[in-house]
Structures are given as C-alpha cells and as structure tokens.
Copies of this chain bind each other. A is one copy, B any other.
Amino acid sequence: MPSAPAHRPTAGTEGLRRENTASVLRALRRLGPATRAELAKDTGLAKATVGVIVSALEAAGAVAEQGSRPGARGRPGRPVALRGERFLGLGLELNVDYVAAVVLDLAGRVHVRETRPASSVDDLLDLARSVWDGCSGPDRALVGATVALPALVRADNRTVAWAPNLEAHGDDIAARVSQVVPAGDVRVTNDANCAAYAEAHHGAARGVRHALYLTGTVGIGAGILQDGELVRGGAGFAGEVGHMPVGDSAAVCGCGRRGCWEASVGLKAMLAAVGMPELDTPLVTAEAVADRAASDGGVRAGLERVGHDLGLGIAMLSSVLDPTVIVLGGYFAPLGELVLEPARRTLDERLASQVQVRPALRPSTLGIEAAALGAAEQCFDPVFSGSTDLTA
C-alpha cells in the first residue's frame, strides 16, 4: 500500500481538543460571525463543548464577541467573530521584476499589500521588514511567513531545485526571512500554487474545491487544487505545464525544444501574434494590447489564435484533472474575454464527452499580489487544520 508516514494529528485528548478548536475556527471562517449555538449546529459539537472552546479562543485573542443581534424570538445569541488584531500571516513573493508582500489576518482581511519593482532577495527582505514594522505591535503574533517563488520548490517547502531567471539560491531564503521577521515557521513554495490558493480562498474560485489556476508571463505555470488541497506531486513539481507539447508544434521555445505550450501562449508568443512590443512588465504590456484590440482587428485575430491554443491546453488539463473552475492569471487577466472567449470555443470542441461539463473559465481579479496573498493564506494552514493551537 502507499506507505503513509505514521502521521499523528490527534492521539491524545488534547489533540482532540486541537482538532475541535480548528473545526470551530473553520466554521467561523466559513460562516462569518456566528453564535455558539450556530457553531454547535455547524460543527456537530455539543453546545457545552463549543462554549468551552470559544472561551479559550477568546482568552487567546483569536475571537471576540460582537453586539447581539435582536429581532428573533427567544434569547438572542451573542455572535462571535474571528479577531483580526492578534494573529497575522505574512506572504512574500520574489519574482523576476517585482517583490510583493501581503499581511493577512486570521479573519481573512488584508492589512497591507505592497509591491515594489525589484528582484533581489535583499529587496524582498527590505520589503518584509518594512511591511512588518508597519503591522507589528505588542499584541500581535505572526503565525508564519511563506515565500512564493517562480521556481521548482521541493516537497520539503524549503529548498529550491530550479529557478530560471532568478538569482536566488533559495535554500537559505527561509532562514534569512526568519532573521528579519519573528515568524516561527517560514516556508518556501511555488508562486503558481500560492496564487491558486489565493483564488480559492479570496478570488474567482472562492469556495470551489476543485480548481485550476493558470498564470501567463514569459512562461506558463499552473496551480492545482484537488478537494481544497494543493496537488504537489512526488517531488513537489506538479503544475509545470509550460513545456507540455501543445499548440503549434513548430514553435521554438526558450528551453530549446519545439512545440512547448508556452511557445504558443507565453507572453512573447502573444506579442508576436499581435505584432506589438514588450513594455515594462507583462501586466502593462497586456493592458496595452487589450487597449489596442478595441480598435485593431489584426490584434483581435492574433489574440484569437492565442486563445485557441490556450483552449487546447486547457482541454488537456481539464481531461486530466476535471476542475470545476479555471482561473486565468498573469497577463491573461487584463486580456480577459479577448482570449477566454476563443479558449471556450476550443474547449467545447475538444471536450472529451457530451456529459463532461465545461469548467468555468474566469479571469483573475486579485491582481499582482495574488501569489503573495495565497502565501499569506497558507500561513494559517496549520491553524485551520488543527496542527497548531492558538490557545496554547
């Protein structure tokens, strides 16, 4: 059988408490402010148990009571809500032309989001320091920090196996981040995975348990969510879709081979198709292209071709993964329906069977900080899964 590591999330009764506490926290995140009675019904726990758990969370500063909501019959409940003032998560992104940081709180609200045009680890550390300085306080605790990189990150969430266009050795990024901010646990992850996570928690795929995120810049990356969890693969390299043999089989890719998907739908291929130059950043470039498309039929035709090849790859990925929603990020987002519409048509042609429902194709709405936001959200993973206890 698949030899599972002897994982022990529970074992003793205090582990059981952790588990149930996490269950209450998840319910609060999902429902928003809720009374103890509502939490009991949602989690299936006894009212008494919920009462004890809520008290502990309140003492820890994780939740707070709100004013009661009158109007109904009977004694009005006293709603409890996640507090954003105590526990924070820091998400960082180091990319080829910018660094970004997002501070998220337990309630899912963004405290800070900042992006700077830069590309070195030192720039990232500077940003992390300044962002945290603006958030820290005597009653603030940083539950973790996560660094998103456009790189192949191993399944250990620490070491980088391959980072083209990035002068980050990566192995020590985690260590350097933890010297700059007081985060107990610092992890390193792939940027597309982070962005997928962000879309599923805050963006166009909110609440969707099977989603696929595609980011388009020079390369194409994917983040896969299967039943709410990121698909990482054996070594941690799942989602490296840029070099799949899809699209124009003659197109020459930066990797030296031909026929890679990103040689057909990557930023440079798109620009070649519409006959426009590359500007400062992929996003600015794509916005310029979208503007021009309004008046230029040739540009629209070029985007039509890109959209078709995009749909081809999406058909492939849909057949394999059967996602409910596919979110398009990176330079695809500004182009929106200009590429999504032809992609949908191709998808309809290519879909495996009549029964298979076409996944929803949506542009990302999270902007350039998507990956950093997802990274910040990942910091709360241990909290909502019950492996960390905030009341300790």
Binding site for B on A (CB under 8 A): 1-4, 6, 8, 10-11, 13, 15-16, 19-20, 23, 26-27, 29-30, 42-45, 108, 152, 161-162, 200-202, 206-211, 222, 224-228, 231-246, 249, 255, 257, 312, 315-317, 319-324, 349-350, 352-357, 359, 377
Given A209-B4, A231-B226, also A320-B319 (CB < 8 A): no
**B320 and A244 contacting across the interface, CB-CB below 8 Å:** yes
Q: Which B residues are CB-close (under 8 A) to A239?
A: 320, 322
- Return A54 CB to nearest CB of chain B, in Å: 16
Given A11-B20, A16-B16, A161-B355, also A319-B2 (CB < 8 A): no
Given A226-B226, A226-B231, also A319-B243 (CB < 8 A): yes
Copies in the complex: 2
Residue of B nearest to A224 (CB): B320
**A233 and B4 contacting across the interface, CB-CB below 8 Å:** no
Instruction: Identify A240's interface contact among B236, B242, B356, CB under 8 A.
Output: B356
Given A1-B201, A210-B233, A323-B233, also A6-B19 (CB < 8 A): no
**A245 and B244 contacting across the interface, CB-CB below 8 Å:** no
Residue of B nearest to A30 (CB): B3
Given A2-B228, A201-B2, also A245-B246 (CB < 8 A): yes
Q: List 27 A-B contacts (CB under 8 A).
A: A1-B29, A1-B228, A2-B211, A2-B228, A6-B27, A6-B42, A6-B44, A8-B23, A8-B43, A10-B10, A10-B20, A11-B45, A16-B16, A161-B355, A162-B353, A222-B320, A233-B321, A233-B322, A234-B322, A234-B323, A235-B324, A235-B357, A236-B322, A238-B322, A241-B320, A243-B319, A245-B350
**B245 and A316 contacting across the interface, CB-CB below 8 Å:** yes
9 further interface pairs, Cβ-Cβ under 8 Å (given A1-B201, A1-B207, A238-B321): A1-B377, A2-B209, A2-B211, A6-B23, A6-B43, A10-B19, A241-B319, A245-B316, A246-B316
Q: How far is the CA of A56 from the CA of B217 in the complex (A)?
A: 58
Given A2-B209, A20-B11, also A356-B228 (CB < 8 A): no
Instruction: Identify A200's interface contact among B2, B26, B324, CB under 8 A.
Output: B2
Residue of B nearest to A386 (CB): B10
**B30 and A322 contacting across the interface, CB-CB below 8 Å:** no
Given A6-B43, A16-B16, A43-B6, also A242-B201 (CB < 8 A): no
Of A202, A207, A377, most buried by chain B (CB within 10 Å of CB) is A207
**B228 and A4 contacting across the interface, CB-CB below 8 Å:** yes
- Return A240 CB to nearest CB of chain B, in Å: 5
Q: How far is the CA of A203 from the CA of B223 in the complex (A)?
A: 30
Q: Which B residues are CB-close (under 8 A) to A377?
A: 1
Q: Which B residues are CB-close (under 8 A) to A350?
A: 243, 245, 257
**B13 and A244 contacting across the interface, CB-CB below 8 Å:** no
Q: Which B residues are CB-close (under 8 A) to A349?
A: 257
